Amino acid sequence: MRFAPILTSAILFGSIFATNVIALESGEALYNDACATCHGAAGMGEGPLAEYMTVDVPNLTQLSVRNDGVFPMLAVIQTIDGRTGIRGHGSEMPVWGRQFKAETLAGSGIYGSEVYARGKVLSLAYYLESIQEE
Ligand code: HEC
């Protein structure tokens, strides 16, 4: 089986690549559903609900620029999840981790719903990473 390693790497690479593409696509769809009302379709804080907020809705395309050019992945994940107590500031931003977990189909059990919620938060974080401006 001389080709086995090549085949294995091709399959591995293919599935890692496919996972990223799926994460980005589902992240974008989730963003449009759950986040664009406040943060805006383009992520610049221009959503229709923004004017009703008591605090400014942040521009999510500037997260890297504001962090010395590095996307703050962990902070973004924790901010979106909201259950770790780490918030942007104030408490206007919904706690998505709890909400995504509650949405899980009955029967998937406590671990299933946790994995599901984290998957959604991660997909959103990947999507936000993809819309950063230089
Ligand atoms: C009800 C309006 C609203 C919705 C909906 C909303 N956000 Fe927010 N978001 C805010 C506000 C306001 C802030 C500023 C921090 C605060 O007050 O909690 C914020 C902060 C953030 C931050 C931190 C930004 C920074 O400058 O550090 C991220 C990341 C973020 N939101 C992502 C999301 C994602 C992803 C979604 C969808 C799952 C979402 N938000 C949905 C209002 C909203």
pLDDT in tens, 31-85: 999 999 999 999 999 999 989 888 889 999 999 999 999 999 999 999 898 887 7
Say yes or no: CB of residue 61 within 6 Å of ligand 1: no
Say yes or no: CB of residue 122 within 6 Å of ligand 1: no
Taking alpha carbons only, the member of 39, 63, 57, 81 closest to residue 132 is 63
Name, of 20-24, 57-61, 89-93, the range with top average pLDDT. Answer: 57-61
What pLDDT sits at residue 127? Answer: 96
Say yes or no: CB of residue 125 within 6 Å of ligand 1: no
- Identify the burial level of 26 via C-beta atoms within 10 angstroms of its C-beta, where 0-12 means exposed, 13-18 middle and 19 or more buried: middle
Backbone angle region of 69, left / alpha / beta, with phi > 0 → left and psi within -120 to 50 → alpha: left
Chain segment 92-129, per-residue pLDDT in tens: 677 888 888 888 765 667 677 888 889 999 999 999 99
Contact partners, residue 72, CB within 8 Å, separation at least 6: 63, 64
Phi, psi of 4 (to 5 degrees): -55, -50
Average pLDDT over residues 12-38: 78
What pLDDT sits at residue 91? Answer: 61
Q: Give the whole-angstrom CA distance, residue 30 versus residue 130.
A: 14
What pLDDT sits at residue 99? Answer: 84
Q: Give the whole-angstrom CA distance, residue 7 versus residue 102.
A: 40
Q: Give the whole-angstrom CA distance, residue 113 versus residue 70.
A: 31
Largest CA distance in the chain: 64
Say yes or no: CB of residue 123 within 6 Å of ligand 1: no
Ligand 1 center from residue 59 Cα (angstroms): 9
